[in-house]
Amino acid sequence: MFSKQSDGSTVAEQYGKLGLSLKPANMERVNGWAEVLQRLGDPGGGVPPTLFIHARCGRLIETLPSLQHDPNRPEDVLKVDADEDGIGGDDTADALRYLVATKPRILRLERLRGL
Q: Give residue-wise pLDDT tens across range 15-63.
A: 999 999 888 877 889 999 999 999 999 999 999 998 999 999 999 999 9
- Closest by Cα among 31, 16, 14 to 39: 31
Q: Give residue-wise pLDDT tens across range 29-40.
A: 999 999 999 999
Task: Output the pLDDT for position 41.
Answer: 94
Do residues 77 and 66 touch, judged by C-beta distance below 8 A? Answer: no
- Closest by Cα among 59, 58, 39 to 49: 39
Q: Is the pLDDT of residue 106 over 70?
A: no
